């Protein structure tokens, strides 16, 4: 989807792979259609409603694990050009002749199939229950994502449609994988401009030549490599004007203005009369062979004093005359190639399509007006409605839904605590207890937070029901539906200890620092104290182990084992090599085994087995 001709492969060398905290506290636009199509492709019929399942897990991951503020964008009414392109794509995949393609009248559009629209509507309902903001574009969702990114309302956009750059996007995230050290594959327009020398209008010209979502054919006989090379010969300011002139068969108006391959020929050389100097057939430098037999030429004499050298294979003279001649030949070759491309473009009817160009350059893809942008507000999840929605569509147990949504609730709670706006309890049930430990996964450090459930008694009916429902749901998930590894979600761990229920969640270090600075300071102080004690303890530990080995019971054990090993070593060193194989069955070894067997009668059976079989 987007620009044709494997356009992403052209941009691949300029991709950046960002770390876990790349989107933290950033607002990001998400093309919801891209998510749904990706989910349907990734998951077959093994999971129930894969679009809902992975939207659920991925939204929680994006919000809680990566700390982003997602804004979801859905497609509006497709343009007639997009509708015709969809039909053409269907005809081509089905092997139907495109000559029978029906004409789409102005103002009439073809919607997506009803199954896809149903998936979109269900995902929208789920995201609204999450409290996520949802915007509807006038046409393409990636166009509105790019506009919000370009105007600074958002910081990036997540989509796989490469024409987001044509709509003006500055940062596009094509993929993100939660189970990776660098989960985000990002593309910046500034890197593309620096690497390929192509700007927005030039990218639009490439899409017109190779095809796009609104014109799947492009220009016949022109591939991506030819299109990029052709566009690079023209500047961004003149590219559209030149395409219109080529489309109108007015090539001679700018044929002489085609950029040279080198563009480094001085103007003084151009004013000089073109004169072909003779070259020596022996050394290849200017001059005749007869003169070089008497005296070595200037080029050869400066390199060695032994006369002219025979020119190597593939030698090219770098004198002014030869250099100008080579540039002239290259320029003629470039002009011939350029004319062939122009001839192919001129044969294409209605090229370039003005409607497509205006659509890509348009700055109004949303229903909002003015420079203030849309009203974007993140609300709180409606937990009970979420439980009912997922119980109906996914057949999930209520306890499982509440457990999986806890990372999002804890993130909201900690953000409000950092702003001194939160209540005292998480989910109106859990109180902050302590920082349990530091967790490092995929090179990313986080705190494992221990939450204590208020007024919970061991053995109560609610506690028993929660544990039983959690076990039942876990069995159902393991058997029926497996979470896709790209969207794996770390479920919070619940622990019962001394009549209290504790919840463990992974939280961002900076977020905990802002919400509970005193607790972080105390945790770091205790950690430093433990490390200092650990550095002092090795000597005492070794002395303690020696004291343990000197107890009567262990002393007998240790002496018996060393006696066995020493007797074997002594026998092996004293006896000849041919008798070494008989030492295993010698009387001394048998007596030591009987002695060890008699001294170990009081030991546990497992210890005796280890001593016996080594």
**pLDDT tens digits along 439-458:** 998 888 999 999 998 864 44
**Percent of the chain with pLDDT strictly greater than 70:** 70
Question: CA-CA distances (angstroms) from residue 512 to 69, 155, 376, 410, 517?
Answer: 18, 24, 26, 11, 7
The reported pLDDT for the residue numbered 568 is 47
Average pLDDT over residues 153-182: 91
The reported pLDDT for the residue numbered 370 is 63
Asked whether residue 391 carries a pLDDT value surpassing 60, the answer given is yes
Tell me if the bond preceding 518 is cis, omega within 30° of 0: no
Average pLDDT over residues 398-421: 92
Asked whether residue 535 carries a pLDDT value surpassing 80, the answer given is yes
Alpha helices in 80-220, H assignment, sequence order: 80-94, 114-130, 141-150, 189-196, 200-210
Higher pLDDT: 19 or 539? It is 19
Burial class (CB in 10 A: 0-12, 13-18, 19+), 213: buried
The reported pLDDT for the residue numbered 470 is 41
Q: State how far the Cα of 600 lies from the Cα of 602, in Å rounded to an integer.
A: 5
Burial class (CB in 10 A: 0-12, 13-18, 19+), 206: buried
Q: Evaluate whether 470 touches 458 at the Cβ level (below 8 Å).
A: no
Least confident of 70-84, 248-262, 273-287: 248-262
Asked whether residue 366 carries a pLDDT value surpassing 70, the answer given is yes
The reported pLDDT for the residue numbered 22 is 94
Which DSSP string corresponds to 175-197?
A: EE-SSSSS-EEEEEHHHHHHHH-
Q: State how far the Cα of 105 lies from the Cα of 100, in Å rounded to an integer.
A: 15
The reported pLDDT for the residue numbered 460 is 42
Looking at mean pLDDT, say which of 48-52, 87-91, 221-225, 538-542 comes out highest: 221-225
Asked whether residue 536 carries a pLDDT value surpassing 50, the answer given is yes
Q: State how far the Cα of 450 lies from the Cα of 506, in Å rounded to an integer.
A: 9
Mean model confidence pLDDT for the chain: 78
Q: State how far the Cα of 82 lies from the Cα of 357, in Å rounded to an integer.
A: 14
The reported pLDDT for the residue numbered 256 is 45
List Cβ neighbours of 352 (8 Å cut-off, separation of 6 or more).
205, 208, 240, 243, 244, 247
Q: Evaluate whether 280 touches 308 at the Cβ level (below 8 Å).
A: yes
Alpha helices in 456-551, H assignment, sequence order: 461-479, 509-515, 517-549
Q: Evaluate whether 101 touches 91 at the Cβ level (below 8 Å).
A: yes
Q: With both helix axes pointing from N to C terminus, report the angle between 354-361 and 200-210 in degrees, rounded to the nearest 10.
A: 140
Helix-strand-coil split of the chain, %, nearest 5: 55, 10, 35
Asked whether residue 476 carries a pLDDT value surpassing 50, the answer given is no
The reported pLDDT for the residue numbered 254 is 52
Looking at mean pLDDT, say which of 216-230, 293-307, 479-493 comes out highest: 216-230
Among 206, 240, 212, residue whose Cα is nearest residue 224? 206
Asked whether residue 229 carries a pLDDT value surpassing 60, the answer given is yes
* Radius of gyration (C-alpha) of the chain in whole angstroms: 38
Burial class (CB in 10 A: 0-12, 13-18, 19+), 266: exposed
Higher pLDDT: 43 or 438? It is 438
Average pLDDT over residues 306-324: 74
pLDDT band at 225 (very low <50, low <70, confident <90, very high): very high
Asked whether residue 75 carries a pLDDT value surpassing 80, the answer given is yes
Question: CA-CA distances (angstroms) from residue 230 to 200, 219, 233, 264?
Answer: 15, 13, 6, 20
The reported pLDDT for the residue numbered 485 is 37
pLDDT band at 463 (very low <50, low <70, confident <90, very high): very low
The reported pLDDT for the residue numbered 322 is 78
Angle at 519 between CA 513 and CA 523, to 5 degrees: 100
Average pLDDT over residues 266-293: 62
Q: How far apart are the first and last CA of the chain?
A: 65
Among 475, 508, 474, residue whose Cα is nearest residue 493? 474
Q: How far, rounded to the nearest angstrom, does the alpha carbon of residue 123 sit from its chain's CA centroid?
A: 23
Asked whether residue 330 carries a pLDDT value surpassing 60, the answer given is yes
pLDDT band at 396 (very low <50, low <70, confident <90, very high): very high
The reported pLDDT for the residue numbered 274 is 55
Burial class (CB in 10 A: 0-12, 13-18, 19+), 553: exposed
Higher pLDDT: 453 or 130? It is 130
Among 117, 211, 85, 213, residue whose Cα is nearest residue 161? 213
Q: State how far the Cα of 172 lies from the Cα of 150, in Å rounded to an integer.
A: 11
The long-range contacts involving 96-99, CB below 8 angstroms and separated by at least 24 positions, are none
The reported pLDDT for the residue numbered 95 is 64
User: Is the Cα dihedral 189, 192, 197, 202 positive or negative?
Assistant: negative
Other Cβ atoms less than 10 A from the Cβ of 185: the count is 17
């Amino acid at each position: 989807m987007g620009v044709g001709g494997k356009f992403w492969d052209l941009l691949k060398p300029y991709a950046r792979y960002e770390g876990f905290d790349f989107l933290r506290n950033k607002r990001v636009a998400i093309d919801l259609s891209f998510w749904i199509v990706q989910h349907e492709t990734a998951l077959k019929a093994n999971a129930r409603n894969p679009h809902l399942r992975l939207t659920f897990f991925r939204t929680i991951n994006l919000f809680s694990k990566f700390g982003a503020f997602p804004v979801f964008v859905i497609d509006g009414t497709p343009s007639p050009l997009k509708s015709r392109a969809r039909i053409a794509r269907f005809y081509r995949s089905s092997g139907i002749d495109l000559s029978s393609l029906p004409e789409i009248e102005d103002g009439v559009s073809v919607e997506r199939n009803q199954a896809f629209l149903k998936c979109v509507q269900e995902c929208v309902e789920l995201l609204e229950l999450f409290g996520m903001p949802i915007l509807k574009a006038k046409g393409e969702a990636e166009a509105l994502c790019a506009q919000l990114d370009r105007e600074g309302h958002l910081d990036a956009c997540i989509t796989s449609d490469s024409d987001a750059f044509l709509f003006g996007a500055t940062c596009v995230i094509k993929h993100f994988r939660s189970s990776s050290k660098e989960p985000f594959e990002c593309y910046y327009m500034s890197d593309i401009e620096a690497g390929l020398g192509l700007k927005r209008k030039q990218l639009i010209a490439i899409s017109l030549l190779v095809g796009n979502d609104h014109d799947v054919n492009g220009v016949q006989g022109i591939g991506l490599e030819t299109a990029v090379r052709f566009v690079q010969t023209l500047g961004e300011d003149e590219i559209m004007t030149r395409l219109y002139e080529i489309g109108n068969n007015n090539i001679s108006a700018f044929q002489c203005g085609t950029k040279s391959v080198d563009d480094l020929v001085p103007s003084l050389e151009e004013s000089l009369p073109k004169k072909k100097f003779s070259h020596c057939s022996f050394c290849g430098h200017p001059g005749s062979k007869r003169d070089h037999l008497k005296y070595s030429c200037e080029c050869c004499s400066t390199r060695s004093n032994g006369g002219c050298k025979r020119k190597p294979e593939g030698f090219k003279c770098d004198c002014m005359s030869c250099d100008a001649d080579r540039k002239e030949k290259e320029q003629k070759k470039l002009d011939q190639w350029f004319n062939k491309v122009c001839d192919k473009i001129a044969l294409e009817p209605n090229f370039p399509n003005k409607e497509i160009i205006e659509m890509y350059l348009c700055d109004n893809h949303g229903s909002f007006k003015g420079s203030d942008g849309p009203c974007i507000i993140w609300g709180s999840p409606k937990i009970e409605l979420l439980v009912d929605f997922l119980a109906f569509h996914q057949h999930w147990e209520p306890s499982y839904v509440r457990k999986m949504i806890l990372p999002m609730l804890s993130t909201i709670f900690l953000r409000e605590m950092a702003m001194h706006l939160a209540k005292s309890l998480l989910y109106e049930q859990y109180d902050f207890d302590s920082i349990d430990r530091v967790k490092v996964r995929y090179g990313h450090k986080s705190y494992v937070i221990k939450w204590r459930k208020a007024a919970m008694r061991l053995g109560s009916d609610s506690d028993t029901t929660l544990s039983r429902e959690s076990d039942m749901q876990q069995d159902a998930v393991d058997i029926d539906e497996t979470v896709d590894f790209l969207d794996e979600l770390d479920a919070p761990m619940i622990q019962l200890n001394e009549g209290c229920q504790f919840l463990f969640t992974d939280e961002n270090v900076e977020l905990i620092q802002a919400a509970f600075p005193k607790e972080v300071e105390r945790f770091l102080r205790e950690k430093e104290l433990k490390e200092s004690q650990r550095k002092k303890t090795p000597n005492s530990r070794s002395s303690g182990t020696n004291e343990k080995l000197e107890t009567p019971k262990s002393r007998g054990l240790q002496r018996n084992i060393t006696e066995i090993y020493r007797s074997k070593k002594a026998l092996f060193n004293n006896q000849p090599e041919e008798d070494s194989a008989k030492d295993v069955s010698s009387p001394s070894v048998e007596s030591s085994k009987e002695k060890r067997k008699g001294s170990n009668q009081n030991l546990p059976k497992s210890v005796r087995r280890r001593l016996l079989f080594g």
